[in-house]
Amino acid sequence: RPVHIAWFSPDCKHFSRAKGDALCDKHIRGLAWVAVKWAGLVQPDIIIIENVPEFVTWGPLNRRHHPIRSKARTTFAQFCRQLEELGYVIEYRELCAADYGAPTIRTRFVLIARRDGKPIVTPVPAEDNED
């Protein structure tokens, strides 16, 4: 059956600044590639990825399992490029969960990818909806 929307929230611990200088696991960081696999095989109309804001800094790790600062964002750029090559239009931004009614001020990274030709519409914050 056709899939209209696929939502992915890959493990964020190995991107988050809350992890500090702890070691990262490239296999866990690579879980987001499942979204690209689904884009190619299942071809959902819309893909949504939610993660920590540092997700955009996704790049390779050195031998000591720490991000290579000079190559920050390179894997993220490749990730986006592969979705675009599969016919998706992509937009991403940071959203504050509290602006949408959640009882937390955490900021989240949200990527929306569409291949159905319709525009990407970001939700309007709850306080702007009170009219």
pLDDT at position 128 is 63
Complete DSSP assignment for the chain? ---SEEEE----TTT-GGGTT----HHHHGGGHHHHHHHHHT--SEEEEEE-GGGGG---B-TTS-B-GGGTTHHHHHHHHHHHHTT-EEEEEEEEGGGGT-S---EEEEEEEE-SSPPP-PPPPGGGG--
Considering the entire predicted model, what is its pTM? 0.88
Question: Which stretches of the chain score pLDDT less than 50?
Answer: none
pLDDT at position 71 is 96
